[in-house]
Structure 1
Amino acid sequence: MGESDGGFSVTRRQLLRMIGMTAGSAAMYQAMSGLGFAAESPYKEPLQLGGAPKGSSVLILGAGIAGMVAAYELRKAGYKVQVLEYNARAGGRNWTLRGGDSYTELGGATQNCQFDKGLYINPGPWRLPYHHHGILHYCKQLGVPLEAFVQVNYNAYLHASDAFGGKPQRFRAVRADYHGHVAELLAKTTQTSKLDALVSKEDQEKLLQSLRSWGALDKNYAYVKGELSSNRRGYDKDPGGGLSGHPIPSTPMALKDILDSKLWEGLPVGDNYEMQTTLFQPVGGMGVIGQAFARELGSLIRYNAKVIAIQQDEHGVTATYEDTTTPGTKQTVSADWCVCTLPLSILGQIPINVGQAMAEAIAAVPYAAAVKVGLQFKRRFWEEDDQIYGGISYTDQAITNISYPSTGYFSGGKGVLLGAYIWGLDAMEFTAMSPEDRIKRAVEQGSRIHPQYPKEFDNGMAVAWHRSPFTLGCFGQWSEQARAKHYDNLCQFDGRIVLAGEHASCLPAWQEGAVTSALDAIGRLHQRAAAAGAAT
Structure 2
Amino acid sequence: MSPTPTLSRREVLAAASAVGLLRCAARSHLKPTAPARSAVVLGAGLAGLVAAFELMKSGFDVHVLETNAQPGGRIRTIRDPFPDGLYVEAGATHVVGDPDLLALFSELNVGLFEPARRRWPKRVLFKRGQRSVVNAGEAIPEEDPPLREDEASLDFNGMLEKYFGTAKDHDPRNPDWSGPEFSRLDGLTAEQLLLERGASEGFRQMVESSFCPSGSLKTMSGLALMREALNLQLEIGWDSVKRVVGGADTLPRALAQRLGERVILGATARRIEQGERGATVTFTRKGEMHQLSARHIVCALPGTLVPQLEMDPVLPAAQLQAFSSINAVSVVQVYAATKTRYWNARGESGNAETDLPVGLIRDESALQEATAGILGAHPNGAESRRLSSLADEVRHREVIDAMERVHPGLEDQLLSVHSVCWDNEPTIRGAFAWLGVGQLTQQQPLLRRPHGAIVFAGDYNSHRPGFMHGALASARRVVAEVVTREAMLKAQ
Whether these two folds match at TM > 0.5 is yes
Equivalence for 1:491: 448
Aligned equivalent of 1:427, options 375, 384, 389: 384
Determine helix, strand or coil for the equivalent of 1:523: helix
Computing the radius of gyration from Cα coordinates, the structure with the larger value is 1
**Counterpart-to-counterpart distance in 2, 1:268 and 1:364:** 24
Are the aligned partners of 2:365 and 2:373 in contact in 1 as well (CA < 8 Å)? no
Q: 1:345 touches 1:472 (CA, 8 Å); kept in 2?
A: yes
Runs of 4+ in 1 over 4 A off after TM superposition: 150-156, 264-277, 406-409
Residue 293 of structure 1 is aligned with which of 240, 244, 255?
255
Confirm whether residue 79 of structure 1 aligns to residue 42 of structure 2.
Answer: no
Q: How many residues end up aligned between the 2 structures?
A: 386
Q: Distance in 2 between matches of 1:424 and 1:275?
A: 26
Q: Post-superposition shift, 1:174?
A: 3.7
Aligned to 2:38: 57
Report Cα offsets for 1:165-193 as digits up to 9, x if no partner.
33254585345x659xx99x979xxxxxx
Q: Name the CA distance, whole Å, in 1 between partners of 2:132 and 2:138.
A: 13
Identity fraction in percent: 25
Answer yes or no: is 1:129 the counterpart of 2:90: no
* Residue pairs, 1:356-367, within 5 angstroms: 356-367=317-328
Are 2:117 and 2:366, in contact at CA under 8 Å, matched by a contact in 1? no
For 1:173, what is the secondary structure of its paired residue? coil
Q: Residue 173 of structure 1 corresponds to which residue in structure 2?
A: 138
In the alignment, is residue 401 of structure 1 matched against residue 368 of structure 2? Answer: no
Structure 1 residues not aligned, in runs of 5+: 1-52, 100-112, 188-206, 211-260
Matches within 5 A, 1:82-481: 82-99=63-80, 113=81, 115-130=82-97, 132-149=98-115, 155=121, 157=123, 159-162=125-128, 165-169=130-134, 172-175=137-140, 273=233, 278-323=240-285, 326-327=286-287, 329-352=288-311, 353-388=314-349, 392-405=351-364, 408=367, 411-417=369-375, 419-481=376-438
Q: SS of the counterpart of 2:333?
A: strand
* 1:143 aligned counterpart, secondary structure: coil
| CA deviation after TM superposition for structure 1 residue 91, in Å | 0.5
Structure 1 position 69 matched with structure 2 position 56: no
Cα deviation 1:497-526 (Å, max 9, x = unaligned): 110101111201112111101101111221
- Provide the alpha-carbon RMSD of the alignment: 3.5
Whichever residue aligns with residue 263 of structure 2, its letter is I
Letter aligned with residue 92 of structure 1: G
Contact 2:122 2:136 in 1 (8 A): yes
Give 1:435 deviation, angstroms.
2.1
- 1:278 alignment partner, SS class: strand
| C-alpha distance after superposition, 1:334-389 (max 9, x if no partner) | 10001101112211112122223322221121322110112211012233332428
- Once the two structures are TM-superposed, the CA of residue 146 in structure 1 deviates from its matched residue by 1.5
SS in structure 2 at match of 1:447: helix
Contact 1:380 1:412 in 2 (8 A): no
Deviations 1:308-351 (A, max 9, x none): 1122222212111111xx33x21111100011011122111121
Spell out, residue by residue over 1:458-516, the C-alpha distance to the aligned partner (whole angstroms, 9 max, x if none): 11210111111210111123213122212111102121111010111120111211110
Partner amino acid, structure 2, of 1:69: V
Relative to the length of structure 2, the TM-score reads: 0.71
Q: Match for 1:94: what amino acid? A: I
Counterparts of 1:78 and 1:158, CA distance in 2: 55
Distance 1:172 1:134 in 2: 38
Is this contact kept in 1: 2:331–2:384, CA < 8 A?
yes
Taking a change above 3 Å as real, the CA distance of residues 59 and 267 of structure 1, as seen in their structure-2 partners, is closer
